[in-house]
A and B are shown apart, each in its own frame.
Chain A
């Protein structure tokens, strides 16, 4: 399935938001023309972060790189399926990476069903405006997260990026489980509120 390997990608810095805006175009080129250059750009934009995510979840660098490749290969293979939805590509990549991580790195899980293509039902009739609205939504989420107080942000990051259960977070931070849950709820409500009127 994997073809050639060539020069390492750079993928150094946070993509500026203008750059993130063209992800959907790159994806369309992948979907419509199986354009390898467009795919390479997507890989360089997302691959290094997916690899970092897998490492934060406990994967060794080699496994993390494999999982990053698998994640982006899924993007490549499913791009046509996804193209109907001009919506949140970054969210789609996150769900693919998360599902792979659950499959491979969390052995105790009996199974877990988290469809990756659920997004299609949310905005099947994506309009030209939709890309703009999508960028706005992403920006609002980013801003809301950046404004979280440290104690709330901490539990959110431990849940999403370190993969810790609520009980594990409570143990790690020496907090009652109820406190962990309420910090999560408050953090979520802030993000939810930031998106109000945009759903």
Chain B
């Protein structure tokens, strides 16, 4: 997988700091799990965290801690791939919900204010234009997505500033499946989209 679109440095910083809102962090984690470049950047951001941690004015501990013998096997935590963990299985098993011509989605469970969903777009279908209330991250999982800023292939993430107007379209040959996180609840623009939202309680 050759990844050419990465997370923004500011996004990586918040992610490493553990202060990226949940839905965005979910998508960031998925990208980082696929991307060695961003993993290396996260490691540097974590160094900053470590340096800041050692600058904090310490708080006196009330008790000394005496551990018992190291518990066996505590190290081998088998880690699911974030995507599988999020959708509770394989992408092939997802049950899609129709939301418009050539467009399906699957909202993913998440608490907190944001929105997290899988979107499937037929070849040439445009992915709904969200109002960017706060930040949005789009991670391509299958196929390709094309917009003014380039072509996004599996593993690529669109981490665009609010100021960027983009109208992503699914690749004309293969369509696209992507994971989209919004900091705010999603609001699709346009009359049809609003109608869809009304029907589906988005």
Interface residues in B5-56 (C-beta closer than 8 Å to A): 8-10, 12-15, 17-23, 25-26, 29, 33, 39-40, 42-56
CB distance from A103 to the nearest CB of B (A): 10
B116 interface contact, C-beta 8 A: yes
Q: Is the interface of A mostly helix, strand, loop or mixed?
A: helix
* B65 engages A73 (CB within 8 Å): yes
* A189 engages B19 (CB within 8 Å): no
A159 interface contact, C-beta 8 A: yes
Inter-chain CA distance A162–B52, complex, in Å, is 11
Residue of A nearest to B43 (CB): A122
Over the window 159-176 of chain A, the binary record of Cβ atoms lying under 8 Å from chain B Cβ atoms (1 yes, 0 no) is 111111111000000000
Interface residues in A24-79 (C-beta closer than 8 Å to B): 34, 36, 39-40, 43-44, 47-53, 55-56, 61, 64-65, 68-69, 72-73, 76-79
Interface residues in A146-196 (C-beta closer than 8 Å to B): 156-157, 159-167, 177-178, 180-182, 184-185, 187-189, 191-192, 195
Q: A112-B26, A166-B10 are in contact. Are A188 and B134 (CB under 8 A)?
A: no
Chain B interface (Cβ < 8 Å from any Cβ of A): 8-10, 12-15, 17-23, 25-26, 29, 33, 39-40, 42-71, 74-75, 79, 82, 85-86, 108-113, 116, 134-135, 161-163, 183
Chain A interface (Cβ < 8 Å from any Cβ of B): 1-9, 11-15, 20, 34, 36, 39-40, 43-44, 47-53, 55-56, 61, 64-65, 68-69, 72-73, 76-81, 88, 90-91, 93-95, 97-99, 101-102, 106-115, 117-119, 122, 137-138, 141-142, 145, 156-157, 159-167, 177-178, 180-182, 184-185, 187-189, 191-192, 195, 199
